[in-house]
Amino acid sequence: MQKNFTKEDYRKYVEQISPKSKVLRNVVRAFIIGGLICIVGQFITNLLTALGLKKDELSSITTIIMIFLGAILTGLNIYDELGRYAGAGSIVPITGFANSIVSPAMEFKSEGYVTGVGAKMFVIAGPVIVYGVAASVVVGILYYLIK
Amino acid sequence: MQSTFMTYLGAFIVGGTLCAAGQVLIDKTKLTVARILVIFVTAGAVLTALGVYQKIVDIGGAGATIPLTGFGYSLARGAFRDVDQYGLLGAFTGGVKATAAGITAAIFFGYTISVAFTPKAKR
């Protein structure tokens, strides 16, 4: 029985079965870690609400705290380790946005504080701000024309 | 007490789902991280304009505002608010105004922490 199952067969079998389960595993990890990061954000929001902050203030302060946490955990080399496990679960939250700024900026510090740190901060954050702000102008103009 | 629990549950499920969607994009399309984040922020702004994202925020709370689609949501909502107040000019002022805290925090903490810390040596 075992002789029929050659190395070639085994390789095909592994190829056939592994990508699917790997995707599923990655998606589950992303869901759990991403969900937990959002729970941290919700905890901060609830805490600030209990302190009596107004709705606009508390969403801004929550964002500031989450960005600080993402940046400092990247500085301490913890966030990139988390990212290896969580994938999109650590990329999609705003903490991942902070990570995308600090990680390349630290890496390219040797190229100086202007063209190294100053420029590389925006390798990923730059496009995000460009498309986000441009989209807000477009929907703002459409809203003005329609309303 | 019950309602507090529900805010956490909503945040976990909505935030987790958005991150899972990002992971599916990474694994199935081989899009780079920058492209996925651009898609998320733009999708957030468009879904807000369509009135969909506000409903997601109502259910998910931080689970909808912490993922990068929430950045698009804040940008678009800010633009609408300023258009209501200042007319067409608002389309150019509202987005950045509403996200000023986040953008400034990202630049300030991003810069200072990048300068203060060194990356772990590559193996």
Check B110 against A139: CB less than 8 A apart. no
The first and second tokens of residue A58, run together, are: 């508390």
Asked whether the predicted pLDDT for residue A128 surpasses 50, the reply is yes
Residues A93 and B118: their CA atoms lie apart, in Å, by: 23
Percent of chain A with pLDDT over 70: 93
Domain parsing of chain A, residue ranges? 2-107
The predicted structure's pLDDT at residue A56: 83
Residues B48 and B55: their CA atoms lie apart, in Å, by: 9
The predicted structure's pLDDT at residue A114: 95
The first and second tokens of residue B94, run together, are: 């509202």
- Beta carbons within 8 Å of B22's beta carbon, 6+ residues apart: A30, A34, A87, A88, A91, A92, B36, B40
- Beta carbons within 8 Å of B110's beta carbon, 6+ residues apart: A67, A71, A98, A101, A102, A105, A121, A125
Mean pLDDT of A67-87: 96
Q: Measured between CA atoms, how close is A137 to chain B, in angstroms?
A: 5
Mean pLDDT of A78-89: 95
Residues of B in contact with A91 (CB under 8 A): 19, 22, 26, 33, 36-37
Q: Give the CA distances from residue B20 to residues A21, A24, A83, B13, in Å, rounded to whole numbers and listed in that order.
A: 14, 10, 14, 10
Backbone angles phi, psi at B67, to 5 degrees: -60, 160
Question: What would the 3-class secondary structure string for chain A be?
Answer: CHHHCCHHHHHHHHHHHHHHHHHHHHHHHHHHHHHHHHHHHHHHHHHHHHCCCCHHHHHHHHHHHHHHHHHHHHHCCCHHHHHHHHCHHHHCEHHHHHHHHHHHHHHCHHHCHHHHHHHHCHHHHHHHHHHHHHHHHHHHHHHHHHC
Coil, strand or helix: which one is B119?
A: coil
Q: What is the predicted ipTM?
A: 0.93
Burial B71-101 (b: 16+ CB within 10 A, else e): bbbbbbbbbbbbbeeeeeebbbbbbbbbbeb
Residues of A in contact with B65 (CB under 8 A): 41, 59, 62-63
Report the candidate in A94, A90, A92 with the shortest Cα–Cα distance to residue A82. A90
Nearest CB neighbour to B11, from listed A27, A41, A137:
A41
Please give the mean pLDDT across all residues of chain A: 92
The predicted structure's pLDDT at residue B98: 96
User: What is the count of residue pairs from A and B with beta carbons less than 8 Å apart?
Assistant: 285
Nearest CB neighbour to B117, from listed A76, A137, A144:
A76
The predicted structure's pLDDT at residue B123: 47
The predicted structure's pLDDT at residue A52: 93
Tell which A residues from 51 to 80 touch B, by Cβ distance under 8 Å. 59-64, 66-68, 71-72, 74-77
Neighbour-count burial of A124, counting CB atoms closer than 10 A to its CB (0-12 exposed, 13-18 middle, 19+ buried): buried
Report yes or no on whether pTM surpasses 0.80: yes
Residues of chain B with pLDDT under 50: 1, 123
Q: DSSP label at B121?
A: P
The predicted structure's pLDDT at residue A147: 84
For residues A143 and B79, is the Cβ–Cβ distance under 8 A?
A: yes
